[in-house]
Amino acid sequence: MFVIVKKIRSTQKLVPLVSTLTRQQRCKFSSLPELTKDRYPNVKRGNYGHIDTNHLIFFKDLLGETRVITDESECLGYNTDWIKANRGYSRCVLKPKCTREVAAILKFCNENVLAVCPQGGNTGLVGGSVPVFDEIVLSTSLMNKIVSLDTTSGVLTCEAGCILENLENHLDEHQLMMPLDLGAKGSCQIGGNVSTNAGGLRLLRYGNLQGTVLGLEAVTANGEIIDCLSSLKKDNTGFHLKHLFIGSEGSLGVVTKVSIQCPPKPKAVNLAFLGLQSFDKILTVFKRCKHDLGEIMSSCEAIDADSLAVTTDHLGLKSPLAKFPFYMVIETNGSDNGHDEEKLSRFLEDVMGDGTVEDGVATNEPSKMKAIWELRERITEGLIHDGYVFKYDLSLPLENFYSLVGIMKERVGADAVRVSGYGHVGDGNVHLNVAVKEFSPEVLHKIEPFIYEYTSKLNGSISAEHGIGFRKTKYMHYSKSKEAMDLMRNIKDMMDPKWILNPYKVLPQ
């Protein structure tokens, strides 16, 4: 049955889907992963200095006592990543409030060969945001000021530690919105988003950060401040240095400020949630969506039954549809609700009329849209309740988008609690998850490197949007040529000759 629920014009804010629990609370509520150094014994600590009293005196003189955290239990949340897959043992967390302080910290660390792990909201999913050993954590969470907002051009300039959802709320008052949106918006920071080149739910419509970030300010390993904080849409003067920092995951510098192009907030938002019998039918719907919804389509997501089940079974969410093998979430953003709703209704009548879609609901009522989005956005959270999750974030040709799920089910067999797939089908980006009761090297070997070889053979990418972080460094060659990797290494050598910035991450050791 297809229901267009009551029309409401304004859209209400979605609640933060990654709760704003403190880092300490988050760790308290679930068991700790084993230390990364024990889980991955082949990775050896680099020849970096060890923090001593003199170093701490310098940091406390610079930042004051309260912004230098050394207490073991207070450091725990900064050492442990969101999905409880990686844990370092740093005993020094620094919380600068401005670019000048970041520059002074990095200059000092460089001179003393102290390794540094930049950290934003710590929602990264590839182990990039936490230390591997005892690296100093440089947290940007106190660098959270909005510098300016030009409401005519839509250019927002802010510090790196601003939480994505706070920026969204600020823009909302001016009828603007952030060009990116992800389930982690309640905790992730814009500096982290830029450093991972985060994708998210509406990349299909608003593009990726390489396009929307107009400029940035960053501090390099030796403490030099690189001011590329342009707010111009067009600026072809020399190399586009901002791209060195977008997506380099804190390995080339610490992003301290960002200026970003923000689109107008849509006056009309509509959402459909559909049930389908096969993945092929998802592809049919996506293709028709592009033609029939055209310029108003803002999101096209696919979810399989096992992925949806973690939100209903573990998190107690309610699905508005009966059980189907597959589901889709399709969102439209436009400026005329009558027009958009009519377009969406016609499209849904077509795909349901010919049996491509079995059942569906559509709504523009804020609370109902929020409830549907939660079913998609909280899958990552729900999966953690299965135990340990081997998470993969791949770009694959659309016809192969879902193929790995079946292959993995066969390879891992009864060792898995669940093998599931969902993701941004509109961008060809699948999130494949193998959930097990607890971390097991045997299961890991059944999955890797096979999964990367498979992806490479199909000319896919081993990281669509989460980055390389710690966990994929040795597999980068499946997506990049030797020459490209050599060039990356040369750039790293030039910008950070002592490799103090986020060591053991991104590039293979």
Ligand X SMILES: Cc1cc2nc3c(=O)[nH]c(=O)nc-3n(C[C@H](O)[C@H](O)[C@H](O)COP(=O)(O)OP(=O)(O)OC[C@H]3O[C@@H](n4cnc5c(N)ncnc54)[C@H](O)[C@@H]3O)c2cc1C
Chain contacts with ligand X (rule: CB under 6 A)? 18, 82, 117-125, 128-129, 140, 160, 182-184, 188-189, 191-193, 195-196, 198-201, 249-250, 254-255, 380-381, 465-466, 469, 502, 505
Q: Which is nearer to ligand X, 360 or 423 (CB)?
A: 423
Residues β-bridged to residue 331? 271, 299
Q: Which is nearer to ligand X, 33 or 360 (CB)?
A: 33
In the Cβ-directed half-sphere of 59, how many Cα atoms lie within 13 Å? 26
> Least CB distance from residue 417 to ligand X, whole Å?
19
> Least CB distance from residue 507 to ligand X, whole Å?
12
User: How many whole angstroms from its chain centre is CA 45?
Assistant: 27
> Least CB distance from residue 7 to ligand X, whole Å?
28
Q: Which is nearer to ligand X, 197 or 356 (CB)?
A: 197
Inter-CA distances, 92 with 76, 106, 202, 216, 465, Å: 11, 14, 37, 27, 29
State yes or no: cis peptide before 449, omega within 30 of 0. Answer: yes
Which contiguous run of DSSP H or E holds residue 217?
strand 213-219
Crossing angle of the two packed helices 53-63 and 99-111, in degrees rounded to 10: 170
Phi-psi sector, 156: left (phi>0), alpha (psi -120 to 50), beta: beta
SS3 labels along 396-461: CCHHHCCHHHHHHHHHHHHHCCEEEEEEEHHHCEEEEEEEECCCCHHHHHHHCCHHHHHHHHCCCE
> Least CB distance from residue 256 to ligand X, whole Å?
7
Cα dihedral sign, 68-74-77-79: positive
> Least CB distance from residue 253 to ligand X, whole Å?
7
> Least CB distance from residue 254 to ligand X, whole Å?
4
Q: Which is nearer to ligand X, 217 or 341 (CB)?
A: 217
Q: How many helices (H) does the chain have, and how many strands (E)?
A: 19, 17
Q: Which is nearer to ligand X, 261 or 337 (CB)?
A: 261
User: How many whole angstroms from its chain centre is CA 475?
Assistant: 19
- Strands of 67-170 (E only): list them: 68-69, 93-94, 116-119, 136-139, 146-150, 155-159
User: How many whole angstroms from its chain centre is CA 216?
Assistant: 19
Q: Which is nearer to ligand X, 76 or 268 (CB)?
A: 76
* Position 447, amino acid: I
Of 16, 160, 148, the C-alpha closest to 95 is 160
Q: Which is nearer to ligand X, 254 or 300 (CB)?
A: 254
Q: Which is nearer to ligand X, 82 or 452 (CB)?
A: 82
> Least CB distance from residue 116 to ligand X, whole Å?
9
Question: What residue is closest to ligand X based on CB?
Answer: 192
> Least CB distance from residue 207 to ligand X, whole Å?
13
Q: Which is nearer to ligand X, 360 or 426 (CB)?
A: 426
> Least CB distance from residue 353 to ligand X, whole Å?
32
> Least CB distance from residue 32 to ligand X, whole Å?
17
267 with 394: CB under 8 angstroms? no
Q: SS3 for 67?
A: helix
Look up residue 200 and give its two tokens: 């998210």
Q: Which is nearer to ligand X, 121 or 334 (CB)?
A: 121
- List, in sequence order, the alpha helices (H) in 80-214: 99-111, 164-172, 190-196, 203-206, 209-212
135 with 88: CB under 8 angstroms? yes
Look up residue 210 and give its two tokens: 């390489």
Of 413, 415, 423, 414, the C-alpha closest to 391 is 423
b vs e for 299-326, b when ≥16 Cβ sit within 10 Å of the residue's Cβ? Answer: bbbbbbebbbbbbeebeebebbbeebeb
> Least CB distance from residue 366 to ligand X, whole Å?
21
Q: Which is nearer to ligand X, 102 or 276 (CB)?
A: 102
> Least CB distance from residue 97 to ligand X, whole Å?
13
Which contiguous run of DSSP H or E holds residue 348?
helix 337-353
> Least CB distance from residue 423 to ligand X, whole Å?
9
Q: Which is nearer to ligand X, 155 or 188 (CB)?
A: 188
Q: Which is nearer to ligand X, 164 or 419 (CB)?
A: 164
